[in-house]
Chain A
Amino acid sequence: MNRRRTILPEVLFLLVCGTLPAFISQLRVEKPISRYITIDSFRYGKEPSVIYCNRGDTLHLTFRSRDTGHSFFLQEFDMDVKVSPSDEKVLQFHSSNPQIPPIIRDTVVLVAEHPGLLKYLVSKSNFRCHVYCGPMHAFEQGNLVIGPNTLLHSGLGMLFGLFFVGIRRIKTSFNSSTLAIDFPENDAGRDILTKHPRIKNLIKKNWFQPSLMLFGGVFLYIVLLTTLLGTKVSGRNLGVMLVWTVWLFLLISVLTPFGSRVWCLMCPLPSVGEFLQRRSITGVRIGSTNGYRNQFFGLNLTWPKWLTNGWLRLIAFLVAGTLSTTFVAQPSATGYAILAFVVTSTALSLIFKLRSFCQFICPINTFIGSYARLGSLALRRTSSEVCHGCKGDFCEKGSHLGWPCPYDLNVRNIDTNIDCGMCTECIRSCTYDNVTFRWRKFGSEADIKDMSLGWTAMAMLVLGMAYTIVYLGHWSSIRDYVNIIDKGNWWLFAVYAVVIWSSVLLIFPLLMYAVTRISKWISGALQSTFELMIASTGALLPLGLFVWIAFSLQMLFVNFTFIEQSLNDPFGWGWNLFGLAGIPWVQLVPQAVPWLQVVLVLVGFGFSFRNLWRIWINKTQDGSIALKGLLPLASFLLIIAAALIQFYAN
């Protein structure tokens, strides 16, 4: 009851913060005017790339092409205007039904107003190109922004409202006996497997994980076949669509936030190497290798100690991230990259013990390892007492029931989701039956102690924002920097790589350090600035994850038709498996996408703010110091979130 009493005014306050600026902005509607705009299309952009106008304005659009055929595809206004390089006349098709004969005209007239209630809600629309004009064609886009911008005002209002609610909560907690926000340690989570013994029995079957890996392997095999042998048109290649749209979305938006590192349970990349190491698929080979109770094959060397941190993984992620455009635009590049992962993983399994590739190199692990800390699912001991009484360390060393932990962990010490790949081997190998899955609140882990993990948290946020700008932004010149595919801009690409790498490794960390320095100076915290900074990077994780979700969501919604088409014709060889050949391309609810993205930023900011408080109260153990220290860093987060809302809404 008390909690409800606290929350209700906060919700009302947030609603006021969200609606009041939007309402005021509606009162300032300007008188509609006519605007005459010539839109220049080129590979890969539009000029102007953003059209600002007011609701009710009449836009008289004429078109030009600098190089080849393009189109001005504006789904919200049911138009797809085809533009030819040598002709000012355009063909205006209906985007909802291209089969309706087009109208040939010199000027396209558009009244900038959405129907019904949507005219108050939808301000930003994305115009794109719907005539294939080159490998980067999918990124040729711009924005139509119709004022007054309800979403922008509302989003920013809510953001500042969240900030003040957070501060107020903290301050209120000083006057009460309870802490403002639960500590992560208090949320061990619900024990799933004890409650559901059937699930536990299923997991304990030796075939459980290999079966999932087989499923993952089939997925991977289809991706390899289609990317290496199928069409070079990315949008029509099933492998590209499966990896960069479906899998990426599921991994970022579903598997990691809910299942933490559950992807690793079915990831096929280490499977071949592991089977070779064990010379067994489901069986447990008893023996003695390197102090383990099971027999392994291969050299079983120990991974160099100086590389047992997150740096190598971060570098691998940066390399993969820098080349991401090539992977997306060239199906074979995706195929060869995956093949390289499988080969490297297998080779390392024969040289080093356990899953060294997954532990120290895998770039996917860089992402999910970081964000798994927020995930709800966690593999933990059932009882700490039983664990402490265990002398056999069966989870770590193996037993006749199961193999040792492939990540070299002891369940007794697992308090974070970073390192555990949730392979479930320990559930089998523990002779005390003392390992379980727990379901905890989202975002339970906050603090970061390791420098490489702190850098990774910063890198994830920066890269999430960078991809958002490069791929979802309207700035065509930025995309030129990553276009090595058909424009061969190698020098620009080098500049892009330097900017990305230096932003991730140097500039953002310096900024974070500077803000933390101010926090320390204001609060008088006793810890070193560096220690506080690394700890505070944990607060970047929720916002970072939600930025990635916002990014992958738009990619999924824009490319949904291509997923259907590529399932219909996986190799792009002219198959028509489900009769979907030639279905018109439509985006899923484009009007809703900016709203969803702004909501995601708000939620991410909320969790980041909460975790920042947790981190500082944990570190300083003093509410007043923590609050003072929190303010500069929270303001920093606020600026980032505001910039993101500005980007998504405007």
Chain B
Amino acid sequence: MRETRQVREKTSKRFSMIILLAAILLTVGLPLGFLQFESSKTGKTWSQIIDKLFTRKGEELTTLDAPRGKKIDFLSPRPIGEPFTKPPMISNLQAVDLDKDGLLDVIVCDALNNKVTWIRQFPAGAYTEHALGDIILAPSHVEAVDFDKDGDLDLIVSSLGMVFPSNDKIGSIIILENDGRMNFTKHVIVDKIARASAVTAGDLDGDGDLDLAAVQFGYDDGETRWIENLGNWKFESHILQSLSGGINCELIDIDGDGDLDIITLMSQEWEEIYLFLNNGKGGFEAKLVYGSTNEDFGSSSISLVDLDKDGDIDMLYTNGDAFDYIPPRPRPWHGINWLENKGNYKFEFHRIANFGGAYGARGLDVDGDGDLDIVAVSAFNLWEKPTTQSFIWLENDGKMHFTSHDIANNPTHILCLSLGDFNNDGQIDIVTGGMHAYPPYDRMARVTLWMNNWRSAVK
């Protein structure tokens, strides 16, 4: 009897140990396994993942606004392109001399009419809009580049499939091939993918032809991919990351090794900027270069520019996305930021100015003093308040201190901008696009060209 009890107790102890060990292993092992898997998927370090998980609403909330300066009327706005009867939804545009006639044109993504259009400047100062190619559902980004190297500019387009959220695989990447006579043939490079939000071209594998890098916003399921050009309009996709919310994708040789690296901006709840370091042969290593601790930060765009003119490329970074608020409202932490390149893939966050609904910013020497100022637009500001600005510029004092100046409160809902000298007067003009997806609909514009008259304005 006693022996049986001893055996039972021994067995019991053994099973206790097994269960206890299993419990400890699972308690510790599961989170560690998840961490390692996430790290291997995204290129984040464990500490970056942990920081993200346990830090809420961080440094961006405590930054100071830029001082306000007086308004200088140096931009003369004029609508260009087709008139509109419904609230316009311009998702992207680029100032480019598409027909190479020496006059800058504008290529436009019209998400309302589901087409890519060309606002041609000819003769000088006269603008006529032409639709290019077939219907492209909710085009989100367009870039002119001589993709097939035949001497004319082709158009690389990303398509969301629809503007509003969807997890369905309705996105696509398209190239509109220019035959040299401004007739465009549509090549679907990849379709039936999560909503594609940006695409850019560059030789990513060093084989001499142009490849593509793209981000797909999706909604819950998104991706970052590079698309290898196999020649003869054949392509092969390589998935780099499976995060949703990608909105910007830029190519730059960040490490100076002679190949192009990829920088992506992920919005949604990630609010992160990733660098994909190229090994020269199309092999990429992911690195997280910036991540907001505020999961509601509203990342809306990045623009690569050497803002401090120290010889390396910094990032102008706006956060003002409010598509996910109903009604869309600016948030106190929305604004314009500078990510200063400190070398070794480290970028230091600097708040430049608060700007509700900030959606795009570009570096531009507005006042001709040799340093780069900033022009910025807002898509989601307090439009019910008539004085609320949709367009501002930030004057740089040369020491990276900025003063905010109003430009315009009309039109509202400006989502995108592009720079270029449209009248060849040596002053950079600005073209903007309006995304009037939400009310109020009282100050609307589709494409607006803002002619720069700085010299005469400050005389």
Contact = CB atoms under 8 A, between A and B. Distances in A.
Interface in A545-596: 565, 569, 571-576, 581-582, 584-585
Contacts of A222: 30
Interface centre among A280, A400, A581 (most CB of B within 10 A): A581
B5 interface: yes
A66 to B, nearest CB: 10
A131 B437 CA distance: 15
Nearest to B54: A229
B46 interface: no
A104 to B, nearest CB: 7
Interface string A81-116: 010111100010100001101101000000000000
Nearest to B438: A85
Given A134-B326, A211-B19, A582 B194 contact: yes
A206 B26 contact: no
A55 interface: no
Interface string A181-210: 000000000000000000000000111001
Contacts of A400: 5
Interface stretch (A147-155, A213-221, A440-448, A467-475): A213-221
Interface stretch (B65-73, B100-108, B158-166, B362-370): B158-166
A409 interface: no
B34 interface: yes
Nearest to B9: A283
Interface stretch (A23-31, A231-239, A309-317, A350-358): A231-239
Contact of A284 (B12, B34, B135, B219): B12
A157 to B, nearest CB: 41
Contacts of A86: 86-87, 89, 112, 436-439, 441
Contacts of B170: 93, 98-99, 102
B22 interface: yes
Contacts of B327: 67
A132 B243 CA distance: 17
A381 interface: no
Interface string B1-41: 00001001101110110111011001100110010011001
A211 B16 CA distance: 10
Contacts of A132: 165, 219
B242 interface: yes
A87 B326 CA distance: 17
A281 interface: yes
Contacts of B457: none
Interface in A260-298: 280-284
Contacts of B23: 214, 217
A444 B166 CA distance: 49
Contacts, number: 152
B97 interface: no
Contacts of A283: 9, 12-13, 16
B41 A574 contact: yes
B34 A571 contact: yes
Contacts of A206: 8, 11-12, 15
Contacts of A232: 269, 295
Given A98-B170, A99-B170, A283-B9, A229 B15 contact: no
B244 interface: yes
A214 B27 CA distance: 11
A282 B12 contact: yes
A544 interface: no
A544 to B, nearest CB: 36
B194 A87 contact: no
B409 interface: no
Contacts of A282: 12-13, 15-16, 19
Nearest to A80: B168
A214 B9 CA distance: 20
B5 A221 contact: no
Contacts of A284: 12
Contact of B221 (A69, A102, A581): A581
Given A231-B269, A236-B220, A582-B169, A87 B12 contact: no
A503 interface: no
Interface string A115-151: 0000000000000001111100000000000000000
A68 interface: yes
Contacts of A93: 168, 170
Contact of A574 (B22, B244, B437): B244
A233 B220 contact: yes
A171 B4 CA distance: 61
B202 interface: no
A133 B326 contact: yes
Contact of A68 (B167, B168, B326): B326
Contact of A99 (B11, B34, B163, B169): B169
Contacts of A229: 53
B19 A281 contact: yes
B344 to A, nearest CB: 26
B272 to A, nearest CB: 11
A206 B5 CA distance: 13
28 contacts: A43-B326, A67-B327, A68-B326, A82-B164, A84-B164, A84-B437, A86-B87, A86-B437, A86-B438, A93-B170, A134-B326, A206-B8, A206-B12, A207-B15, A210-B19, A231-B220, A235-B220, A280-B16, A282-B19, A284-B12, A571-B34, A571-B38, A574-B41, A574-B241, A575-B38, A576-B221, A582-B167, A585-B167
Interface of B: 5, 8-9, 11-13, 15-16, 18-20, 22-23, 26-27, 30-31, 34, 37-38, 41-42, 53, 86-87, 89, 112, 114, 135, 137, 162-170, 191-192, 194, 218-222, 241-244, 269, 295, 326-327, 436-439, 441
Given A84-B163, A104-B114, A283-B12, 4 more contacts: A69-B162, A82-B162, A210-B16, A282-B19
